[in-house]
Amino acid sequence: MEEQVKAYIEQIRPYIQSHGGDVEFVALRDKVVQLKLLGACRGCPGALMTLHQGIETQLREVVNPELSVERVD
């Protein structure tokens, strides 16, 4: 499952980078995907929405419906 999550993150990174940010996979622990936000995403007020309504929603659809996403620094 971790490889599927990493593949998805790599797939969306160009989109996030095109907006001045970046996302980095940190770990997968007990169906919790830990991600680090970089660049413009670090201070963006919409970052949590991107994590949960964007990335988390898609990961649940393409990898596992029980996954959740957590931001780590």
pLDDT tens string 32-71: 999 999 988 888 888 888 888 999 999 999 999 999 999 9
In the prediction, which pLDDT does 48 show? Answer: 85
Residue 43 is classified by DSSP as: S
CATH architecture group of domain 2-72: 2-Layer Sandwich (3.30)
Chain position carrying tokens 């797939």: 11
Cα–Cα distance for residue pair 3/70, rounded to 1 Å: 17
User: In 3-state terms, what secondary structure has residue 69?
Assistant: strand
Chain position carrying tokens 């997968």: 28
Bigger pLDDT: 47 vs 12: 12
Q: Amino acid letter at 6?
A: K
In the prediction, which pLDDT does 50 show? Answer: 86
pTM for the full model? 0.89
